[in-house]
Amino acid sequence: MATVQSPSLVRTEGRGEDAFAGIAVWGVVAVLQAKRLTESQRMIGVGGIVVVMALLAVWVIFFWPAYWD
């Protein structure tokens, strides 16, 4: 009898990028849909999310591999 594995169990690469982008999009959408914020406050919020995501990317690219030595 042949067994069939789910594609989610077989494919592991690319999961981190999907989660990373999903968190960023969720944050941007949450800030842009906030009713009590002015336009400038929304743009400051989006800018903050972009900066935090960029810092996380820099940490993963440059510093995280150092722990694997």
pLDDT in tens, 29-63: 888 888 898 999 999 999 999 999 899 888 888 87
Residue 56: CB partners within 8 Å, gap ≥ 6?
Answer: 20
Q: Domain count for the chain, please give it.
A: 1
- Cβ count within 10 A of residue 31: 18
- pTM value is 0.63
Residue 7 lies in a domain: no
pLDDT at 43: 92
Residue 2 lies in a domain: no
Secondary structure of residue 11 in the 3-state scheme: coil
Domain residue limits at 50 = 15-68
pLDDT of residue 20 exceeding 90, the answer is no
pLDDT at 44: 92
